[in-house]
Each structure stands twice: as structure tokens, then as C-alpha cells.
Structure 1
């Protein structure tokens, strides 16, 4: 299984939806909560080429975007291939 990193913040419905999709697929992920960590938020923005919204998701160090982007990959049938190691 590919490595997955997700930057989140508390009380974020999009973060919860993205994590739920990954959990439903049995994917383990590394979560970085930036709620009270401005340094983590800045790291996310740098890795995500300036994107500031939550969540930001990376699969195998590839930036795939946010929750809507993750669900779009799933609908297009492309997510499983990305997650396969």
C-alpha cells in the first residue's frame, strides 16, 4: 500500500470525509493536525504549492489535492491504482 499523508484541522467536515473514504478503503495514513500548529500549516502550504485549504492529501509524495479531489479520483476509478504500491 502506498504511503498517504493528510494535513487536517479539527472540526473540518472535509477532513473527516477524506479520512472516512481512506478508512473505508482500508488505507492507513499519516495525519498531521495543523489546528494549533502554524509550523505544520506552513509545511502543508509549501508542499501543496500554496494551497491553504484543508485537507491537503499526498499519496506517494504526490499532491492529489483536497477532499473533493480525492473523491473525484475515486469516482473516476483512479484512486485504487494510486494507492497500490
Structure 2
């Protein structure tokens, strides 16, 4: 029975003609579009932090400057660390 079905499908497929050749198609569905841009450049080394919907890239030199400018001096070890 299986051989008869395979033979019937093979014979029928020989008579069926397609309306167009899929290799000659030039129209394809667009699945996803993206704008091409140059990647941003960052001073290295850098600190990278990513959460669900945001990311932060901060050069280490800027992080050190921020800490030095905003560090309190009321404790001796903080004063030594800042120096």
C-alpha cells in the first residue's frame, strides 16, 4: 500500500507545473529592519554595567575622577585613599 502511494505521488508530481520558479523570485518578506551605525567608541579600560533595559559604559579614568572629587575627608583612611 505504501509503495502504491509513493508511486502515485511521484507520478502526479511529474505532471504538476509551478506558476513561477522560486529561484527567480526577487520579492521576499521583510522580517526585521535595523539602521546601520558606527559603534560608539569608549576610552579603555572601562566599567560596563547592564540591567534589563539600560547599559552604562564608563571609562575608568572618569570613575576615578568622580570618586576623588566626591570623596569625603572626615576619616583618615578616606583621606589616604584620595591621596
TM bracket, shorter-chain basis = under 0.3
* Structure with a larger share of its residues in strand: 1
Which structure exhibits the higher relative contact order, with contacts defined as CA atoms closer than 8 Å and separated by 6 or more residues? 1
TM-score (norm 2): 0.25
